[in-house]
């Protein structure tokens, strides 16, 4: 058995399509981060004692918008990642849909019960971390983006997943101190390096591994 890495030829139309996907995904990464940060802040203000329901409702709606952007990223990235490993790539949009579903369910619960689901962010982070590891592993082996960016993502999502486990065990709090530090690599990947690269440069030609 031997392995050979090949780079498939692309038609001009295919290249243009991949470029559009790259730009769209880059923009969606920024949109989902901005809406999630603002939405989370508004919801946290309600949790901290702000009795005005209007900002909290806006926060929930922004979280839903963030979730829609997340699903869009998953579906678009599948079109690119399936050329690398279709079976593994299939799980990336599935997990992003799960992430959106969990986030939306927590938001609806908050609107109805006027209280947050215990550890609601952690339940959202679980599919985020697993899906992110799949994404960045496929980016790393395919060289669709520079490996340094893929490694940053791998570290970020691994740190996020570890933080979730430690938080559930009561070792740390993801909302403060060392817990928040674990969010930095993933934040840099999703909000800075990945979107900027995709918008400016797009995807490189994918490398696929064939076994014979």
- Grouped pLDDT means (10 residues each) for the chain, 212 residues: 45 79 98 96 91 93 97 97 95 98 96 93 96 98 96 98 96 90 95 97 74 36
- pLDDT tens profile 145-178: 999 999 999 999 999 999 999 999 999 999 888 8
C-alpha radius of gyration, the chain, whole number: 18
CA 112 to chain centre: 27
Non-local CB neighbours of 32 within 8 Å, separated by 6+ positions: 66, 67, 69, 70, 73, 190
Q: Is the dihedral of CA 56, 157, 102, 144 positive or negative?
A: positive
- Which sign, positive or negative, has the C-alpha torsion 107, 62, 47, 191? positive
Nearest to 158 by CA among 177, 132, 120: 132
Determine the pLDDT at residue 175. 86
What pLDDT score does 1 carry? 40
Our measurement of the distance from residue 30's CA atom to the centroid of its chain's CA atoms, rounded to an integer in Å, reads 11
Tokens coding 127: 């599919």
Q: Which SS3 state, helix, strand or coil, does residue 118 take?
A: coil
Count, in order, helices (H) and strands (E) of the chain: 7, 2
pLDDT of residue 69: 98
In the prediction, which pLDDT does 19 show?
A: 94
Phi-psi region of 49 (alpha: psi -120 to 50; beta: other; left: phi over 0): left
| Sequence-ordered list of residues with C-beta below 8 angstroms from that of 48, at least 6 positions apart, any chain | none
């Amino acid at each position: 058995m031997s392995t050979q890495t090949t780079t498939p030829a692309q038609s001009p139309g295919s290249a243009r399509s991949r470029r559009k996907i790259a730009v769209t995904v880059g923009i969606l990464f920024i949109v989902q981060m901005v809406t999630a940060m603002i939405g989370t802040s508004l919801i946290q203000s309600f949790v901290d004692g702000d009795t005005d329901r209007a900002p909290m409702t806006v926060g929930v709606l922004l979280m839903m918008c963030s979730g829609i952007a997340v699903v869009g990223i998953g579906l678009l990235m599948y079109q690119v990642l399936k050329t690398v490993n279709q079976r593994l790539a299939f799980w990336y949009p599935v997990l992003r849909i799960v992430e959106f579903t969990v986030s939306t369910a927590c938001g609806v619960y908050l609107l109805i019960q006027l209280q947050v689901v215990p550890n609601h962010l952690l339940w959202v982070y679980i599919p985020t971390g697993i899906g992110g590891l799949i994404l960045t592993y496929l980016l790393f082996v395919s060289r669709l983006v520079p490996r340094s960016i893929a490694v940053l993502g791998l570290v970020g999502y691994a740190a996020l997943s570890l933080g979730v486990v430690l938080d559930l065990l009561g070792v740390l709090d993801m909302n403060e101190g060392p817990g928040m530090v674990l969010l930095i690599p993933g934040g840099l990947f999703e909000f800075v390096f990945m979107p900027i690269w995709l918008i400016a440069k797009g995807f490189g030609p994918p490398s696929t591994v064939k076994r014979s």
